[in-house]
Amino acid sequence: MADTSGMSGGRVAAVRDDYMELTRRKRLYSGILLAVFVALMVSGFMVADARNAGGFWDGWTNVLDFPRVVVAEAAEKAGELPGHLIAFFPALIETINIAAVSTLFGVLGGALLSMLSTRGLARWPRLIPLFRRMMDVMRAIPEIVIALVLIFVLGGGPVPAMIAIAFHTVGALGKLFSEVNENASLKPVEGLASVGATWTQRMVLGVMPQVAPNYLSYALLRFEINIRASAILGFVGAGGIGYELKNAMSWGQGQYDESAAIFLLLFATIVTFDQVSSLARDRLTHGRKSEMLHQ
Amino acid sequence: MTMTADNAPDLRAQAGRLFRRKRLTAFGIPLLVLVYLVYAVFAFDVPGLIRTADPENGRTLIRDSYSYKTHVSRDNRSGEVSVAIEGERKGQYPDGTAPGWVALGETTVITLDGGGIVTFGPDEVSYDIPGYGLVTARPGNGGANATFPTEELPEWINASKNRVAITTDEARLTITRRKTEVFRYETGWELFFFTLDSPYHGVGPGEIAARAMSGELPAIWNDFWHNRMWRHADVAWALFETVLMAFLGTFGAALVALPLAFLAARNFTPLMIVQQVARRFFDFFRGVDALIWTIVLARAFGPGPLTGALAILVTDTGSFGKMFSEALENVDGRQIEGLQSTGAKPVQRYRFGVIPQVTPVLLSQVLYFFESNTRSATVIGAITGGGIGLLLTQAMITQKDWEEVTYYIVLVVLMVFAMDWFSGWLRRRLIRGDDSGH
């Protein structure tokens, strides 16, 4: 009796030592990882600081100088602001149009590619890896690369930006869509196949109704991202509000009232679409949940 | 029984309405999309674009991306002949040397593929074009003074008094009063490894390896790394700078956003006003687009990678703050209560009750952003002037270094692939068991 209790006591002590040892080692590893991370951050910051034209420590007190000048000038010429807002509104519409058209093409292309690369749905199962790699490459190429090449060939304007963003969107949405497709039930597809439906009919009638809410939710999210992207691409010469901003900025001091108007338009647009799309997405997912509960 | 009979027409009408509505949406939505696209065609002025588009630019771009041209030019005043790759000083053959198809001498003879022969004589230039005949010219004060074998010129010859341009599949000859030049296209990226002034130019890979083994490796590496045509060292540094921007921006944003996210989470901040302030703060930082932040910050810090990193940091603070606070609101309260029951202090409750729960979620979001920010850093770099984005735009602005543009594009894609793979690997390593969930 005394023996066994002594033995179990020893075992408990051994287990505890083991556990403490394990915890200590885990902490050590976490500590090392943290130290490496901090070292990377600090040294990275120092390298970036050294390579920058203006240093961080000199510059950070001036961060608000530019916004202050812009706000002051805008306030000074507050009377002209509504006029500027109206003048730049068409450019804003162009930016939104670029985002909308590229999202539309992205949804169409992404849906097609995702179905071609989902097991069970694919038209040519052997080519699944090919379509997957294709989406990876489309996702990997930054929009600016395609936009600049197309600007050279096609000339400046909204179309190069639209194609560039659509290309990227196809890859990005294709990946998300194929994750949605994996969860789609194959029963309607098999049912349609048994009555002799073609592949297109199976996809449109069997899969689409199941995945449409999720597709729409991802598409809305992407639309919001694409508005930002099309504004940025405008800055490198692809039309829309970004291009106007670049021009307005080049007027320089004393002329920032136009820039202020553009900042305001861009900010309002992004916040609006951000809120609307998050509301709509919320309704899409929650609406679906409640329907599922009813069944 | 009677009830169903009574209700039947009603139900039928209901079903009919439902079908009508479905049919309407099934046809209506595609129709709306189509109408919108037609509107977009005109809004984007596609017909005008097709008119102004320059397919010649596209052809040049594609040809240049996989081939290079060697310029053989003769100064018509002094009679000097020089050979240079892409016509650049950096790619010039040293005096008295030339590639095998150019025979320098009193009369320089250039042998082209397909049997064409161009000669640069002391006063006369000639191009023997197979299947057409001999074109001769005596460029001088009177102009190009060219004579052609046929009266009627084919469309690939463009001749005026002062300028003659002959474009064939293998080469292009231009004769002006001052200068005679032959461009010869060849496949490949010439001088990619070593420039002409390096002793290793034109040496086969086997011999390079052998020489590297015998102690010349530093010299070989130096010649390759500091290649003046392709600037491998600068390109590698630019790639590093781009990744650095993404790294500093993403992880910096995560560090700033984490404490703020606690303030915005419903279950951690009972004070409604603090919550609302924190949330509006995030909305503001997200709403002011990366483009605007980039411009504002570039004013304060000047161009460079730090500006790009800060622009990413500021924008992503908003996104992370929102995502983190949502993750924190989904934290399981029972674990925290359990810790509380053992007498844990607030700091300990956060450390052992909250952090272990949210870390996998937050980390996986941060790593996703890291990968996508590598791409954003390329674009932001083009605006602020840092990293591979800057090199890319610079090479594109010259409108002739398309082989370099292609090289950068390939590198950018490889970089994004590498980051994608790396962040995925890190995610799997740090968050064990996460793959089962996905």
Closest CA in chain A for residue B57 = A153
The alpha carbon of B104 is separated from its chain's Cα centroid by a whole number of angstroms, namely: 41
Domain range for B22? 2-51
- What pLDDT sits at residue A294? 43
Across residues B46-50, what is the average pLDDT? 83
| Contact with chain B for residue A274, Cβ under 8 A | yes
**Residue B56 counted as domain residue:** no
Six token digits for residue A205: 């009638």
Distance CA A120, CA A207 (A): 11
**B125 has a chain A CB within 8 A of its CB:** no
Angle CA(B33)–CA(B37)–CA(B39) in degrees, nearest 5? Answer: 120
By C-alpha distance, the chain B residue nearest A154 is: B53
| Torsion sign over Cα B155, B159, B160, B165 | positive
Q: What is the DSSP string of B328-397?
A: HHT--HHHHHHHHHTT--HHHHIIIIIHHHHHHHHHHHHHHHHHHHHHHHHHHHHHHT-HHHHHHHHHHH
Q: CA angle, B165 as apex, B160 and B166 as ends, to 5°?
A: 130
Query: How many Cβ contacts (< 8 angstroms) between chains A and B?
Result: 178
Q: In terms of CA atoms, which chain A residue is nearest residue B305?
A: A48
B392 and B337 co-located in one domain: yes
> Helical H runs in A52-64?
56-59
Q: Indicate if the pLDDT at residue B435 is higher than 50.
A: no
Q: What's the gap in Å between the CA of A13 and the closest CA on chain B?
A: 22
Which B positions 362-401 lie with beta carbon below 8 A of chain A?
375, 378-379, 382-383, 385-386, 389, 392-393, 396, 399
Check whether B292 has a pLDDT greater than 50: yes
Tell me: do B158 and B96 sit in the same domain: yes
**B241 in the same domain as B213:** no
Phi and psi (nearest 5°) for B362?
-65, -45
Q: Structure tokens of A5?
A: 């209790």
pLDDT at B234 over 80: yes
Which H helix or E strand runs over B173?
Answer: strand B171-176
Residue B437 reports pLDDT greater than 50: no
Q: Do A155 and B53 touch (CB under 8 A)?
A: yes
Single out the residue of B61, B69, B66, B59 nearest to residue B173, CA to CA: B69
Shortest distance between the Cα of B320 and any Cα of chain A, in A, equals 15
CB B111 within 8 A of CB B101: yes
| B149 shares its domain with B211 | no
What residue in A sits closest to B392 (Cα-Cα)? A145
Residue in B49, B53, B392 closest to A145 by CB:
B392
As a whole-number percent, the residues of chain B with pLDDT over 70 amount to 96
Residue B31, burial from CB neighbour count under 10 angstroms (0-12, 13-18, 19+): exposed
Q: Give the chain A residue nearest B282 (alpha carbons).
A: A271
Find chain B residues with C-beta within 8 A of A159's C-beta.
44, 46, 49
Do B178 and B319 sit in the same domain of this protein?
A: no
Are A53 and B301 a contacting pair at CB < 8 A? Answer: yes
Which fold does the domain A67-294 belong to in CATH? MetI-like fold (1.10.3720)
**CB–CB of B61 and A152 under 8 A?**
yes
Cα separation, A255 vs A74, in Å, equals 9
Residues B425 and B375 in one domain: yes
Provide, as residue numbers in chain A, all residues whose Cβ is less than 8 Å from the Cβ of B56: none
Query: For residues B91 and B191, is the Cβ–Cβ distance under 8 A?
Result: yes
pLDDT (average), residues B131-160: 79
Same domain, B152 and B215: no
Give the span between the Cα atoms of B104 and A290, in whole angstroms.
Answer: 84
Give the residue, A214 or B108, on which the prediction is more confident. Answer: A214
When mean pLDDT is compared across A82-96, B215-229, B311-325, B357-371, the lowest value belongs to B215-229
Average pLDDT (B29-41) is 89
Domain total for chain B?
Answer: 4
- Domain identity same for B249 and B288: yes
B25 touches chain A (CB under 8 A): no
How close does chain B come to A72, measured CA to CA in Å?
15
- Continuous H helices in B105-201: none
Distance CA A265, CA B48 (A): 28
Same domain, B243 and B134: no
pLDDT of res. B434: 44
What is the chain B residue with the closest CA to A265? B288
Question: Is there a single domain that holds both residue B279 and residue B395?
Answer: yes
For residue B187, what pLDDT is reported? 77
Beta bridge partners of B103: B109
Most B CBs within 10 Å, among A134, A153, A241, to test the B interface: A153
B256–chain A Cβ distance below 8 A for any pair: no
Percentage of chain B modeled with pLDDT above 90: 8
Q: What is the pLDDT of residue B148?
A: 80
Q: A242 touching B, CB under 8 A?
A: yes
Q: In this predicted model, which residue has the larger pLDDT, A183 or B189?
A: A183
Question: Buried b vs exposed e over B260-298: b needs ≥16 C-beta within 10 Å?
Answer: bbbbbbeebbeeeeebeebbebbbebbbbbbbbbbbbbb
Task: Judge contact between A92 and A98, C-beta under 8 A.
Answer: no
A174 has a chain B CB within 8 A of its CB: no
CA–CA separation, B82 vs B94, rounded Å?
9
Q: Which residue of B has its CA nearest to A135?
A: B417
Which residue does chain B place closest to A57, by CA atoms?
Answer: B301
- Of B95 and A229, which is predicted with more confidence? A229
* Cβ contact, residue pair A41, B382, below 8 Å: no
Q: Which of B175, B173, B227 is nearest to B197 (CA)?
A: B227
Residue A64 contacts residue A191 (beta carbons within 8 Å): no
Mean residue pLDDT of chain B comes to 82
Judging contacts by C-beta atoms under 8 Å, the chain A residues touching residue B44 are 94, 97, 101, 157-159, 162
Q: How far is CA A154 from CA A158, B49, B57, B201, B391, in A?
A: 10, 7, 9, 38, 22
Task: Classify residue B59: in a domain, yes or no.
Answer: no
In angstroms, the CA B368 to CA B412 distance is 18
In the predicted structure, residue B438 carries a pLDDT above the cut 50? no
Max mean pLDDT range (A154-163, B212-221, B311-320): B311-320
User: Residue B343 belongs to a domain with what CATH number?
Assistant: 1.10.3720.10
Instruction: Give per-10-residue mean pLDDT for chain A (295 aa).
Output: 57 90 89 91 88 79 82 82 87 92 95 91 90 89 86 84 93 91 89 91 88 89 90 83 85 79 88 86 66 41
Q: What ranges do the domains of chain A cover?
A: 2-59, 67-294
DSSP string, B40-101: HHHHTTHHHHHHH--HHHHHHHHHHHHEEEEEEEEETTT--EEEEETT-GGGBPPTT---TT
- B296 → closest Cβ in A66, A139, A158: A66
Band (B4; pLDDT cuts 50, 70, 90): low
**Which residues, numbered 254 to 273 in chain A, qualify as contacts with chain B under a Cβ-Cβ cut-off of 8 Å?**
263, 266-267, 270-271
Among A37, A153, A159, the residue with its CB nearest the CB of B44 is A159
Interface touch B44/A228, C-beta < 8 Å: no
Q: B145 or A19, which is more confident? A: A19
Cβ pair A47:B303 closer than 8 A = no
The answer to whether the CB atoms of A271 and B36 lie below 8 A apart is no
The answer to whether the complex's ipTM is over 0.85 is no
Asked if the C-beta of B416 comes within 8 angstroms of chain A's C-beta atoms, the answer is yes
Span of A273-282, B234-243, B311-320 with lowest mean pLDDT: A273-282
- In this structure, the answer to whether residues B24 and B96 fall within a common structural domain is no
Chain B touched by A89 (CB under 8 Å): no
On whether both B267 and B141 belong to a single domain, the answer is: no
